[in-house]
Amino acid sequence: MEIQVIDNNVEKAIRVLKRKLQQEGLFREMKQRKFYEKPSVKRKRKEKEAQRRLRKKLRLMRPE
């Protein structure tokens, strides 16, 4: 990942970096890895996330 600093505007570059990291889910993953997650809990979480992604995809496909 590369962020360019334009006109020495470091604050804007940091905001852009934070936005990109959040979109990639880095902060969420760091929070999850803070403590051990049992495999059964991990599997249930992944299934729940997949269902959420599917609902979002269906919602975006047919706007009503």
pTM exceeding 0.75 = no
Asked if the structure places residue 2 within a domain, the reply is no
Q: Which domain holds residue 25?
A: 10-61
Q: What is the C-alpha separation between 54 and 39, in angstroms, rounded?
A: 22
Nearest Cα residue to 50 out of 38, 42, 62, 61: 42
Asked if the structure places residue 32 within a domain, the reply is yes
Asked if the structure places residue 28 within a domain, the reply is yes
How many helices and strands (H and E) does the chain possess? 3, 0
Please give the tally of structural domains in the chain. 1
Asked if the structure places residue 33 within a domain, the reply is yes
Per-residue pLDDT tens digits of the chain, which is 64 residues long? 888 999 999 999 999 999 999 999 999 999 999 999 999 999 999 999 999 999 999 998 887 6
Give the per-residue pLDDT at 13: 94
Q: Is the dihedral of CA 24, 28, 32, 38 positive or negative?
A: negative
Asked if the structure places residue 5 within a domain, the reply is no
Q: Is the dihedral of CA 16, 24, 28, 2 positive or negative?
A: negative
